Amino acid sequence: MQDAPRPTVTVDEIETLLSRLPGVLSSRVVVNNWGAIEEIHILSNTERNPKQMVRDVESSLAARWGITIDHKKISVAQLAPLSTKAGPSRVKLLNVVLTNDTQKGRLSAKVVLTRLDEAGTIYEGSAEGNNSRYQSFRVVCQAAIAALNQVIEPQNVFVLEDVGALFLSKREVAVVAVSLVTARGNEELLVGAAPVRGDVLEAAVKATLDAANRRLGNLQPKRPPEEERTEAPG
């Protein structure tokens, strides 16, 4: 007595079956000119390990259509879940306080920031320097950098490179160059700008924030002090 002929199975039917297996996101089946399976490619999440996925593929084909396939023909690529721990959101300026000592020709600046995703928490940075036009730019921007570096973990750091003002379309614009130095020693130059609407020094601070905000979402946020205390040994 002869065995019953194996039913004809299409590639679409196989891929539909495989795509229903736990953890499978998509599948692709490659056959040769005679219709025999040459390769099976599985894209999955990390719900099951690759060896389990291969066994699932083998078992499902054998149970559904009696198809036996060498496990070496099955490849599994897994997509890791996206991290849910995002970096700090953009920061905004709350206040700039300037103290001008005309007798000594010195300028002191305090910059107060807050994160848009953390209402009520403020970050303050201070700096002091000579009160020439160029140095006053650097003083306020250094104060902004000091505040920004309180927002992120200390293995990353913002560094002020240069600041100035120029005219575009007959309007004065503050422009700031900031370097981001990461824990791995990589250095990235960030440039920010802000139109001058009254106080040129405040515009310089906003330009500094404009530069830093381009990368803040990709950096590790600094942990609140209470978290640091709970993780201390003892």
Q: Which domains does the chain have, with CATH numbers?
A: 11-78 (3.30.300.30), 91-218 (3.30.160.270)
- pLDDT band at residue 62 using 50, 70 and 90 as cut-offs: very high
In terms of Cβ atoms closer than 10 Å to its own Cβ (0-12, 13-18, 19+), residue 143 is buried
Task: For 146-159, write each residue's pLDDT tens digit.
Answer: 999 998 888 889 99
Written as one letter, the residue type at 186 is: N
Task: State the pTM of this model.
Answer: 0.58
SS3 149: coil
Summarize the confidence of residues 43-58 as an average pLDDT: 89
- pLDDT band at residue 232 using 50, 70 and 90 as cut-offs: very low
Cβ atoms 117, 88 nearer than 8 A:
yes
pLDDT of residue 105: 86
pLDDT of residue 84: 45
Tell how far CA 28 is from the center of its chain: 31
Summarize the confidence of residues 62-71 as an average pLDDT: 92
- In degrees and rounded to multiples of 5, residue 103 shows phi and psi of -70, -40
d(CA 218, CA 234): 32
